[in-house]
Amino acid sequence: MQITIEDLSPVEKRVEFELPWADVVPKLEKAYDSLRRGVRLPGFRPGKVPRALIEKMYKRQVEDEVARDLVEHSIGQAIRENQIQPVAPPSVEALEIKSGAPFKFTARVEVRSQVTPKDYTGVPLTRRPGPTDPFVFGTEKPIKVEPKGDHNFSKQDSLWYFYAVANPGQPAAAAGGAAPAPDATANPAAGAPAPAPGAAAPGAAPADASTPAAKPRIMTRINVQRDGQDAFAPFTGPADMQPIGPNYFGTGSEIPLASFEPGFYTFAINVRDLNAPRGSAASKGIDRKQEFVVLMPDGSLPPKKAAAPAPAAKPTPKRP
């Protein structure tokens, strides 16, 4: 099997598959044999219906089933071998098996955004994080993320967001004096390295092993708008919650701003609890927003988009 992977965006890949005809034939033979044993037609004993007649009557059905089976197996193999992390079921274009020809198809896969560390200047901590420290990633070699109070960024900066969740029916004290995680809001902090895969949330300390708790199932929707229009396609996916303390979990991530044009932006996040009762506030989601600015190359504020003129008032007709 040949696999070609193309990055369409930081959160979407196109995967092209090509299976040789020799890999398709055994699947077709097995499907036809299985169908032949169960087909009942007048004039033929069970299991003795001619193969040519079976193909004439059920070719489309058999080929569709074989194609779906090949797609499912091939996509699963590609995900495992290439360490792809899908956040939604892949979408597959129209499928068709042509006799004697390789079986080809294309899948589009939404994936987790990957951040590549570059020349960031983080502040490594040599002591355990304290309750008044800025946001911290990691436990073995934690990195301190300094908030930006003015929310003004250059394109070389990064925007970070953090939030924490807790079970209100259980105790949720932060472990070991770790820094408390903030609410679901944008806490911009430029110049810190991207967290390693599996890094803990801000101020994270190892959870108390004596208090096991299942991770909450949290769905996050992130959207960044510029002048009221989406700056890129909104992202929705499960959150990788990390234990901060007993029944207390947090997460956070980075949005590099290198591809952002100078302008005025709004960062919006919606956090939903998938285990909450249907119709509850937690099930519908909690929304947070934060404004930020990407500066001009010279460090000045970008010009604001002119407001649309108000529609002219219609004159009141005079009564005769």
Domains of the chain: 2-110 (3.30.70.1050), 123-294 (no CATH)
Choice between 310 and 185, residue whose per-residue pLDDT is larger: 310
pTM above 0.75, yes or no: no
Each residue of 166-216: pLDDT tens digit? 876 655 444 333 333 334 344 444 433 333 333 333 444 443 444 455 678
The predicted pLDDT at position 176 comes to 37
Dihedral Cα 167, 170, 174, 180, nearest 10 deg = 30
Report the pLDDT value the prediction gives residue 128, as an integer from 0 to 100: 67
**pLDDT at 113 > cutoff 80:** no
Residue 271's pLDDT is 92
pLDDT in tens, 10-35: 778 888 888 899 998 898 888 888 88
Q: How confident is the model at residue 64 (pLDDT cuts 50, 70, 90)?
A: confident
